[in-house]
Amino acid sequence: MLEIDSLTKRFGGLAAVNDVSVSFARGTINAIIGPNGAGKTTFFNLVSGAIAPTSGKVVFDGRDVTGLRADQVARLGMARTFQSTTLFDTATVLDNLIVGHRLRTKSSLLDVVLGTKRLKDEERICREKARQALDFVGLGHVENRIAGDISQEERKRVAFALALSTDPTLLLLDEPAGGVNPEETVGLAALIRKMADSGLTVCLIEHKMDMIMNLADKILVLNYGEKIAEGTPAEIRANPVVIEAYLGSEHAAA
């Protein structure tokens, strides 16, 4: 469902992503790993349309999206979460979700002034969608809590819910388990698996190797912008080039 062909991005003389080709199948979990500066964030920025590639192609769901803007790509069904989750900290969790969703609805100021049926219908649908997304990520019980009071792990789940409320087919997750403890990491991994099992394709950047090795269907390894390996966790763990560049012999032994 995502086909990347010879993707390259140069910043001046530096190739941050260099001739990377890979494909991700529908309903699978795909991890991108590599040392700091390997090009992982740049890869996400290229796929999501945040920046345009120097050369190469991104085909999403059979459609060439190379060079489209991020908002255009998002409308086609790609959603993204970031390392830190920005929320309206003085609003409730549910209101954060409703606002996120209302930014994409059709009512105009006139509808608001007149209190039209369209506005009321949209408000009701937004609320229902927000509740559904919160239930899916296991946060139904905190919908009335003030967002500033929830835990880091709950913020991560809200970020997933925000992404899900746009009805995506592909989710790009940047360090979904960054800054949470090992037990919470297991819970978030289970949630990511649940998203993939529901048909979503997931692509994530993560440094937590235990989590990746247990969760990913496919791993793409970048180093200095280049793809140095691609395969299942077992293949990646046993790959001498990856061990040398990134994992180190301790990880491989473990």
Ligand X SMILES: Nc1ncnc2c1ncn2[C@@H]1O[C@H](COP(=O)(O)OP(=O)(O)OP(=O)(O)O)[C@@H](O)[C@H]1O
Summarize as ranges the residues that interact with ligand X (CB under 6 A): 11, 14, 16, 34, 36-42
Binning the chain into helix, strand and coil, the percentages to the nearest 5 are 45, 25, 30
Contact call for residues 65 and 58 (beta carbons, < 8 A): yes
Least separation in angstroms between CB 223 and ligand X: 9
CB atoms within 10 A of CB 120: 12
CA distance 73 to 168: 10
Cβ 212 to ligand X shortest distance, Å: 14
For residues 43 and 244, what is the distance between their CA atoms, to the nearest angstrom?
22
The torsion defined by the Cα of 38, 40, 43 and 44, in degrees rounded to 10, comes to: -160
Q: Which is nearer to ligand X, 95 or 175 (CB)?
A: 175
Shortest CB 249 distance to ligand X, Å: 21
Q: Closest CB to ligand X among 11 and 82? A: 11
User: Sheet of 201-205: strands edge to edge?
Assistant: 78-81, 170-174, 201-205, 29-33, 218-223, 226-231
Residue 25 CB, nearest distance to ligand X (Å)?
23
How long, in residues, is the chain?
Answer: 254
Query: Which two structure tokens, joined as six digits, stand for 59?
Result: 């085909």
The radius of gyration computed from the CA coordinates of the chain, to the nearest angstrom, equals 19
> How many whole angstroms from its chain centre is CA 72?
17
**Residue 51 Cβ, how far from ligand X at the closest point, in Å?**
8
Tokens read off for 154? 């709950």
- Comparing CB distances to ligand X, the nearer of 164 and 172 is 172
Query: Taking the complex as a whole, how short is the minimal distance between the CB of residue 16 and ligand X, in angstroms?
Result: 3
Comparison of 38 and 158: residue with beta carbon closer to ligand X:
38
Minimum CB distance to ligand X smaller for 145 or for 207:
207
Question: Which residue from 226, 228, 232, 242 is spatially nearest to 6, judged by alpha carbons?
Answer: 226
Judged by CB, which is closer to ligand X: 38, or 159? Answer: 38
